[in-house]
Amino acid sequence: MTEQELLKLLDMGEHSELECKLAKGGLPKDVWETYSAFANTKGGIILLGIKENNGVFSPVKGVDVVKLRKAFWDDINSKQVSVNILQNDDVQPIKINEYNILKITVPRALRQQKQTTNYNKFTVIDGLLKTALICDTVRL
């Protein structure tokens, strides 16, 4: 991803296929709800190392993408979600100038791969609305 592509994404702001998270203190716990929501809908991109200030998104300095990437893979492979549908190339560090960002590209899951978190919640995103449902109420 080039600097221009990143800036274009950030200019669009968050939407049903893009979510940005600061992640300066480590892997955000709510990354799994976003992962599940994207997998359960059309897929999407999660950018770690991005802050929001009054609706304006920008990268932050001091993000350790090596630790974030390791924490992400450790968690996803330890049953943090019901199914890991990612390949290695789906989780990539991006360096733009002095900024380090972790880009996670979540594909749409196949019907038999629909995601729940380890809290037994099925999450979907519709526009800007993120909804968590209890698995007993979900019909695929």
Report pLDDT digits (tens) over 42-96: 999 999 999 999 889 999 999 999 999 999 999 998 877 778 899 999 999 999 8
Q: What is the pTM of this model?
A: 0.81
Fold of 3-137: 3.30.950
**Coil/strand/helix, residue 8:** helix
Report pLDDT digits (tens) over 14-36: 998 999 999 999 999 999 999 98
- Residue with structure tokens 């939407």? 15
Both tokens of 112, joined, read 């038999």
pLDDT for position 138: 47
pLDDT for position 7: 86
Residue 135, pLDDT above cutoff 80: no
All structural domains of the chain with their residue ranges: 3-137
Cα–Cα distances (Å) from 41 to 51, 74, 101, 121, 140, in that order, read 24, 24, 24, 15, 11
Pair type for strands 91-96 and 121-126 = unpaired
